[in-house]
Amino acid sequence: MNNNIDHTDPAKDMNTERGNGGETHQRAGDDTKVLTTQQGVAISDNQNSLKAGARGPTLLEDFVLREKINHFDHERIPERIVHARGSAAHGYFELTESLEEYTTAKILTETGKQTPLFTRFSTVAGNKGSKDTPRDVRGFAVKMYTEEGNWDLVGNNMPIFFIQDAIKFPDLIHAVKPEPDRGFPQAASAHDTFWDFVSLSPETMHNLIWLMSDRALPRSFSMMEGFGIHTYRLLNKEGKSTFFRYHWKPVAGVQSLIWDEAVKISGADPDYNRRDMYEAIENGMYFEWELGVQLFTEEEANEFPFDHLDATKLIPEELVPVKIIGKMVLNRNPDNFFAETEQVAFCPSHIPPGIDFSNDPLLQGRLFSYLDTQLSRLGSPNFVQIPINAPKCPFANNQQDGHMQMQVPKTRVLYEPQSLDLDRPRESPQKGFNSFHEKLDDGVKGRIRAESFADHYSQPRMFYRSQTPAEQAHIASAYAFELGKVDTAHVRTRVLSHLINIDEDLANRVANALGMELPEAAEPAAPVQDMDTSKPLQTIGRTPKSLKGRLVGILVAEGSNHEQVKKFEDAINAQGGMVKIVAPSKEVKLDDNTRIQADERVAGAPSVFFDAVVSIIMPDQAKKLAEDSSTLDWFTDAYVHCKAIAYCGATDEFILSKLPVEKDEFVTPLAKLDSFVENAKSRLWEREPKVRDLA
């Protein structure tokens, strides 16, 4: 609660003057930096261009104007084709358990050492100016500045991908992006071209059901898991290979929004997840994950009921447990969004010695694609010299020149072998990167997909049947919503034919919601297996009961009880939660004459921003707020989104009584503070079927 409001305007003390046209000039003093051009020339007037007379033409000789406008005209670089909208933070990785038995990579063998890193979260489909909360896959990319070179762990918040071969990536993205003849919808898969493509590509079914699940609507970046999608190799000092897949496990637990919240948040605050991370880190509430690996041999992989080189398949944790080996902490926001978050360049091909690739055909294509993309976006092969991309370990090579070369090699020799400069770098078989000496089979070269990639339904079936009833309802409702946006009837029918193979109950729920009859099931390319269910695939079933990292909104107005507000604020903070004060106006006076500044006005902070809400208002203010639609929505949305509500007597008498709010166990009076705090740690999912139609 901010009761220290300072209206003092510092501009009055910044040597401010008015010019002839009333424009504001702020002059540098003896202790103030002087504004200069890029060449270091001091600027005398930053408000007016050079003119031939007060009302005459502007002169071309004004190099200050030309430089300023020229730089502005070139401020933007091409945005990423996918993952354009991103947010990032600095932090560190600390290894807690050595993998020396499996790898020579120091980042995975030297415990206790903190390695700096930079992590970027993103959405896949939308452009840079889209929203944070669409139904979409989230990118989860980590750049570790190891002492053996940069390691880029370029993953997603889902453990699998839509396609099995990189040659299909342009088709997938062209299908999900805005349709080219109309330029919409933005950041949305709910349209004909996407569903036409996926319904003709059964390999997409597994990632598709994840996309329809709550995993596609993360509550916070800190509540997302991260996955590498592909199988990689670890190589030990004997050259022995062990396969691995990596997992980032959020310390805050997995939690998602529900679709109605995501839709409303998109309109109220398109920067919702970005703002959440920025404010949390600024307030010292750092984001943390544990790094885990699934380790397995080639012999073990041969016994899996799927092909581990198929990026549309996950490895259930019950089959290969996740071994926790370290932690990541994000503890510092970028100093400059463009220089760091926008210019950071991740490439899966950036790996240190001791780590290697598998033959996953999707991974193999990414090894080319990402580097090619960085050359296009950042304009030069020298993109690694941008500070956010530069290694923090010593590096030396014989590369030269190129656009924006910022290094100055002081040698006549930029080649090798050579004998003219004994200090130039040379290769090192002992320290250098070595690829695994793989014995290849006697197969025939050709454009062939392995038969072991043919099962497209067993893992989606496992995923759906592993979910809680509430999550299954959300998945079915998501399919119904998305297909409700598809106008081509045969595409909807084709999707239903695939859903029958995944789960007939799911297919029936979606068909009933759309008013359609079930078609015949699609012909599977391989027998569909009934795999064991896996609890780690759940979201709601794994969301921890905790206030840590959660945000509670407290509604106040003129005359609200200061002591009561403080009591709730202290109780929430004690549990690791955060509080924002919401009021009808930006400043309000409480009952003890304390004037406070609200964090948000109720008209601009709908309850979808909060994990739980409290109302502490006086009768006269409650009467006024009862006539305000945004206030009524504030309570209604909190209720229909299954959140905890604490209310005072005036709120009950004048507001809740007008609304379809049932006083269940999560709607409590202020006197039940402890109950509210406990309720605020989760949601009452049993309420959901009473407040909305679910497929």
Question: Which residues are catalytic, by number?
Answer: 83, 156
What is the distance between the alpha carbons of residues 657 and 659, in angstroms, rounded to a whole number?
Answer: 6
Annotated binding residue at 18? no
676: which residues sit within 8 A by CB, 6+ positions away? 568, 612, 614, 644, 646, 668
Three-state secondary-structure class, residue 15: coil
| H helix intervals, 160-215 | 169-176, 192-199, 205-211
> Any bridge partners for residue 552, and if so which?
579, 612
Annotated binding residue at 162? no
What is the distance between the alpha carbons of residues 464 and 205, in angstroms, rounded to a whole number?
Answer: 11
Task: Please report, as a single letter, which amino acid is at residue 668.
Answer: T
Dihedral pair phi/psi, residue 622, rounded to 5°: -60, -40
Structure tokens at 278: 């920025």
Which residue in 514, 117, 98, 61 sits closest to 287, CA to CA?
117
Annotated binding residue at 169? yes
Q: Which residue has the tokens 């290979």?
A: 241
Structure tokens at 368: 């080319």
* Buried-state track 610-638, b at ≥16 Cβ within 10 A, e below 16: bbbbbbbbbeebbeebbeeeebbbbbbbb
350 close to 369: Cβ distance less than 8 angstroms: no
What is the distance between the alpha carbons of residues 365 and 370, in angstroms, rounded to a whole number?
Answer: 9
Annotated binding residue at 80? yes
CB atoms within 10 A of CB 384: 17
The count of residues in the chain is 695
133 close to 265: Cβ distance less than 8 angstroms: yes
> Any bridge partners for residue 326, and if so which?
95, 291
Annotated binding residue at 66? no
Name the DSSP letter for residue 80. P
Structure tokens at 415: 């080649």
Annotated binding residue at 479? no
Which residue in 373, 338, 388 sits closest to 82, CA to CA?
373
What is the distance between the alpha carbons of residues 680 and 675, in angstroms, rounded to a whole number?
Answer: 9
Which residue in 496, 460, 466 sits closest to 479, CA to CA?
496
Name the DSSP letter for residue 339. I
Pairing of strands 595-597, 587-589: antiparallel
Which residues are annotated as part of the binding site for heme?
80, 120, 169, 366, 370, 377
Which residues are annotated as part of the binding site?
80, 120, 169, 366, 370, 377
